[in-house]
Structure 1
Amino acid sequence: MGTPLGDFVRAKRDSIQPEVLGLPERGRRRSPGLRRLDLADRAGISVEYLTRIEQGRDRNPSVAVVNALADALSLDPAERAHLRYLAKITGGECVAHPQPAPPRREVRPSVLETLRLLEPGLALVTNRLGDILARTGSYEAVMGGTGLLDAEVPNLTRYVFTDPRARDLFADWDTVADEQAFDLWLGPSVENSEWFTAELAPVAGADFTRRMNRHVVPARGVLRLRHPSGPELRLRRETLDITEDAQQLVVLLPADEETAGAVERLRRPPRLRAIS
């Protein structure tokens, strides 16, 4: 049985063409991407050791080996961070509780006060599982009617993979789906992620499982929303980690004047007029 670390290394190796790294073409091969021999040579390890890592038979590669693999695969900073994280959880260093459990959902008063200071902006407090733990009134007004906030505990990941309205709302649904699947690897803890994944997988289907196993590190560009009321919103995302609570404060900023105007109209409901 494989491991998240082995799956990621193998997925990255399969996605790299030898010529990109300046390696010679060695003729036809049965699978795409970089050969194990080439990757092992670049990383300074044996093919047999690389095979053990990819197949999950070696769960504790050293920091030097992890860094060598990152160099050999030409990983960008986000991918390097993900590789280090997968090496840590594969080795079992992060496991703190024997049973998976749902995460804490309390938001500290000081964080709630910070959120209030961001009104009338669009902002929310979330965790890596996608739980929306708190939000500004403006965020609630703009997202009303999308179905995202209908649940007692709204969850963006569950909404993306199980609510048909999500595919209409997110203009770049595939990218958003990759983002939400990737974030499950990051917490708030390994146990929470296992609990949530086990809960979501039966209802989200094979597409969710496939994205979890691909380990695609998302670029997180401009978020495009096709709002039910008509306008397309283009929003930049600024994310601040609340490390102590394994939560995040996310602020959504209009990326252009058209979006700014549309957001202003959405968060200000039309005034009622008296009919004489």
Structure 2
Amino acid sequence: MGTPLGDFVRAKRDSIQPEALGLPDRGRRRSPGLRRIDLAGRAGISVEYLTRIEQGRDRNPSVAIVNALADGLSLDPAERAHLRYLAKITGGECVAHQQPVPPPREVRPSVLETLRLLEPGLALVHNRLGDILARTGAYEAVMRGTGLLEPPHPNLTRYVFTDPRARALFTDWDTVADEQAFDLWLGPSIENSEWFTAELAPVAGPDFTRRMHQHMVPARGVLRLRHPSGPELRLRRQSLDITEDAQQLVVLLPADDETGAAVERLRRPQPLRAIS
């Protein structure tokens, strides 16, 4: 049985062409990407040990081994952080974790006050499962008609994978789907992520499961929306981690003058809504 750590190392190895790392072409390969012997050599470990990690038979590699694998794969800082996180949840700390549970939905008063100060800007608070826990009135006004905020407890991940309107709204739907699936690894807790994944997988289908386990760290560029009213909105995302609550405050800023004018037409003064 595989592990999140092994799945990531294997997926990343398969995605790297040897010539990108200055390695010689060894001819035909049974699978795409970097050979195990090449990665093992770059990381300074044996092929047999690398195989055990990828197949989930070694669940507790040392910090030095994790760093060596990151060096061998030439991971960028975001990918290195993800590798360290997967090593942590794959190891013994996760063997006896609690039963899957839904996450808390409370947003602390100081964060709600910050949202009020951001009006009339587009801003929201969410967790990594996609639960939209609070938003500015301007965000609600701009998202009106998309279907995202219709449920009593809106969830962006569920919307992306189960609501047909999401494919019409997000110009780069595939990229957004990859982002939402990846973020489930960063949920408020392992138990929360397991709860949500078990709930969503049967209705979202194999495309959701495939994206979640490909472990490709998303770049998170400009967010493009095909708004139901007509204009395409191009929005830059600025995020602030609320670490103690495992939440994020996200501000959406117009990326060009056309988007700024369209947002100005769409938003209307609305009271802040917190969902608890």
Report the AA paired with residue 86 of structure 2: L
The amino acid that maps onto 1:80 is R
1:93 match: secondary structure: helix
Deviation at 1:96, TM superposition (A): 7.5
Residue 181 of structure 1 corresponds to which residue in structure 2?
181
What residue in structure 1 maps to residue 273 of structure 2?
Answer: none
What's the offset of the Cα at 1:216? 1.1
| Residue aligned with 1:30, SS | coil
Which residue identity lines up with residue 166 of structure 2 in the other structure?
A: A
Counterpart residue type for residue 221 of structure 2: G
Q: Is this contact kept in 1: 2:101–2:191, CA < 8 A?
A: yes
Residue aligning to 1:82:
82
Alignment partner, residue 272 of structure 1: none
The one-letter amino acid of 1:117's match is: L
Which letter maps to 1:203?
A: V
Q: Give the structure 1 partner of residue 64 of structure 2.
A: 64
Shift of 1:94: 5.2
Q: Which residue of 2 aligns with 1:274?
A: none
Task: In structure 2, give the amino acid aligned to 1:217.
Answer: V
Q: Which string of whole-angstrom CA distances, capped at 9 and with x for unpartnered residues, describes residues 141-180 of structure 1?
A: 0000000000000000000000000000000000000000
Q: Tell me the CA shift for residue 93 of structure 1.
A: 2.1
Equivalence for 2:239: 239
Q: 1:8-47 residue pairs with structure 2 within 5 A?
A: 8-47=8-47
Aligned residue in 1 for 2:115: 115
**2:6 corresponds to:** 6
Equivalent pair of 1:95/1:190 in contact (CA under 8 Å)? no
Q: CA deviation at 1:92?
A: 3.5
Give CA-to-partner distance per residue, 1:62-113, whole Å, 9 cap, x none.
Answer: 0000000000000011100000000000004257742110000001111101
Which position in structure 2 is the counterpart of 1:268? 268
Q: Is the 8 A contact 1:141 1:266 kept in 2?
A: yes
CA contact (8 A) 1:121 1:139 kept: yes
**Counterpart-to-counterpart distance in 2, 1:103 and 1:199:** 13
Instruction: Map 1:110-189 to 2 at 5 A.
Output: 110-189=110-189
Instruction: Report the alpha carbon displacement of residue 261 of structure 1 after superposing the two structures with TM.
Output: 0.4
In 2, the alpha carbon distance for the partners of 1:26 and 1:80 equals 27
The residue identity in structure 1 corresponding to 2:70 is A
- Give the match for residue 222 of structure 1: 222
Structure with bigger RCO (C-alpha 8 Å, 6+ apart): 2
Distance 1:169 1:95 in 2: 40
- Inter-partner Cα distance in structure 1 for 2:175 and 2:95: 30
What RMSD over aligned residues (CA atoms) do the two structures have, in Å?
A: 1.0
State the structure with more CA Rg: 1
What amino acid does structure 2 have at the position aligned with 1:228?
A: P
Query: Which residue does the alignment assign to 2:250?
Result: 250
Matched residue type, 2:256 = D
Does the CA-based 8 Å contact 1:95-1:191 persist in structure 2? no
Long gaps (5+) in structure 2: 270-276
Are the counterparts in 2 of residues 182 and 216 from structure 1 also a CA contact under 8 Å?
yes
Code of the aligned partner of 1:6: G
Aligned length: 269
AA of the residue aligned to 1:29 = R
- The amino acid across from 2:196 in the alignment is F
Q: CA deviation at 1:26?
A: 1.0
Q: Is 1:208 aligned to residue 208 of structure 2?
A: yes
Cross-structure match for 2:55: 55
- Please give the TM-score of this superposition, normalised by the length of structure 1: 0.96
Which residue pairs with 1:103 in the alignment? 103
Q: Secondary structure of 2:30's partner? A: coil
